[in-house]
Amino acid sequence: MNWHEKSLSELSQAIFAKEVSSVELTQYFLKRISQYKGLNAYLDVQEELSLRDANFADELIAKGQAGPLTGIPVAHKDVFVTKDWKSTAASKILENYLSPFDARVVERLGIRGAGMVCLGKTNMDEFAMGSSNENSAYGPALNPWNTQYVSGGSSGGSAVAVAAGLAPIATGTDTGGSIRQPAAFCGITGIKPTYGSISRYGMIAYASSLDQAGPMGKSAADCGLMLNAICGHDQRDSTSLRREPDNYLRLLGKNWSETAQLPLQGLRIGVPEEYFAQGLQEEVGQAVRAALKQFEDLGATCIPVSLPKTKLSIPVYYVLAPAEASSNLSRYDGVRFGYRAKEYKDLTQMYERTRSEGFGAEVKRRILIGTYVLSQGYYDAYYLQAQKIRRIIAQDFQTAFTICDVLMGPVAPQVAWKVGEKSKDPVEMYLEDIYTLSPNLAGLPAMSIPCGMSTEGLPIGLQIIGNYFAEAQMIQIADHYQHVSSWHQLAPSSSVTSSGGSL
């Protein structure tokens, strides 16, 4: 049985029907992980620990205590701390770091929560800083559609794991596109929910006011199932929202309007002109427009809208995120845990060497930028100014949402690029984030679903941006699309993926 091609509900049914046990499923995925090791999707795999969890899940199933996710394997981005697996955030400075506690997301999904079995920790850009996974201290996760190409980032490892069938579903985090962009590059579905929906407790912080966890799976429905398990208030995170738990699958299969003939009749899709401006690769634009056409066939109406401050999202993001990062990463000082330089003559040198040797180039670059923009004399011009524009960007979206229900456009201007192609020019790489940054700045939910393939055979993603707490609607809309399209069902050919194995 090709278990890696199954949806979460199919896996759950198979488990309930005793067609497969959690241990068997876990063994199946562990085997694939080792088979496709060359993709570098995982940073830490501990087979015996996964099987321990799977055994426990099987006991729950036998006792009739199983829920819809019990016994299904899951992979966690290495940004979530775990007691049993190393938590490095793909940085040398946290090499071999073991956390004394599990992140809230890990806890909620885990064997004592939803009952899922952890397969291991997935590769990422160091401290979630990057758009290609090339900033991992442990080498990039490679795109399973063509291993010459990047997986996207920062949640590249999770995207690769799901796309290559090395996990049925995975967790990711998204600060400026880190779930949506690798999901688009690898042809899977990913959701960044409304800021504050999922506790950040146990997430290694990059930029606290932007960081948000989310699911990365094969379909909108799979992602919704995981969201149900990980959303909710947590008193250990002061920015976590106090809201009644939502059922993100409650609108699945329902028509947008109860009285309408077509499933999405009445849905107003805003199409921001700025998302189709110069710089958008032609093939990507075509695929996105074709998808919009299909939404129209489903009954939706497309309305041109404008998000005039879209361009400013890049400078605003690259001031605010590094500012927060420069402070969040101060704790990696070699004093209490993690890497410490081997040789130093005094305290200052210990700090300097530890951090110079422990952090990678992009992390150091952002710490420098962040330190600079917070410095006396520059704070008002950079940090304060960026905060003001951030509010204007959020306002832009609210204006757009007065005339439409959701926004749609590309996730990224291009498909995945070749490994090494953009790593020399950081600014060129920053420009790739243009469509994904503003939802983070506004705190809005946004998702990526596959909507086409380039002539080179690389996936193209469609971005859906909703208003605050519109996740259930976004999943409903995406699910309708995934019933009339098959892009999300395409899988990279095993010959390509296994050539990754021989890399």
What residues make contact with other proteins under the rule CB under 8 A?
Answer: 80-81, 87, 89, 94, 97, 99-101, 103, 200-205, 207-209, 235-239, 323-324, 326-327, 329-331, 333, 335-337, 347, 351, 371, 374-376, 379, 383
Q: How far is the CB of 253 from other proteins (least distance, A)?
A: 37
Q: How far is the CB of 76 from other proteins (least distance, A)?
A: 12
- Would you say 16 or 379 has its CB closer to other proteins? 379
Instruction: Tell me if residue 240 is catalytic.
Output: no
If you ran DSSP here, which 8-state letter would residue 457 be given? S
Instruction: Tell me if residue 178 is catalytic.
Output: yes
- Would you say 119 or 373 has its CB closer to other proteins? 373
Q: How far is the CB of 81 from other proteins (least distance, A)?
A: 4
- Would you say 203 or 307 has its CB closer to other proteins? 203
**What's the one-letter identity of residue 237?**
D
The DSSP element (H or E) to which 173 belongs, if any, is strand 170-174
**Exposure on the CB side of residue 456, measured as CA atoms within 13 A:** 17
Question: Would you report the helix, strand and coil content of the chain in percent, each value rounded to 5?
Answer: 40, 15, 45
Backbone phi and psi for residue 408, each to the nearest 5 degrees, phi listed first: -135, 145
Residues 6+ apart with CB under 8 A from 343: 353
| Distance between CA atoms of residues 94 and 92, nearest Å | 5
- Catalytic residue chosen out of the listed positions 21, 131, 136, 154: 154
Contact 242, 199 (CB under 8 A): no
Instruction: Tell me if residue 493 is catalytic.
Output: no
Q: How far is the CB of 441 from other proteins (least distance, A)?
A: 13
- Would you say 330 or 398 has its CB closer to other proteins? 330
Q: How far is the CB of 365 from other proteins (least distance, A)?
A: 17
Among 304, 223, 155, 109, smallest CA distance to 474 is for 223
| Distance between CA atoms of residues 445 and 464, nearest Å | 9
- Catalytic residue chosen out of the listed positions 12, 91, 99, 178: 178
Q: How far is the CB of 170 from other proteins (least distance, A)?
A: 18
| Distance between CA atoms of residues 53 and 99, nearest Å | 18
- Catalytic residue chosen out of the listed positions 6, 12, 22, 77: 77
Contact 466, 459 (CB under 8 A): no
Residue 169, helix vs strand vs coil: coil
Among 69, 409, 15, 81, smallest CA distance to 224 is for 69
Cα→Cα distances 503→38, 208, 352, 458, 494, Å? 6, 36, 36, 19, 14
Query: To 5 degrees, how large is the angle CA 438–CA 460–CA 423?
Result: 70
Q: How far is the CB of 106 from other proteins (least distance, A)?
A: 10
- Would you say 81 or 434 has its CB closer to other proteins? 81
- Would you say 12 or 99 has its CB closer to other proteins? 99
- Would you say 207 or 415 has its CB closer to other proteins? 207
Q: Which residues are catalytic?
A: 77, 154, 178
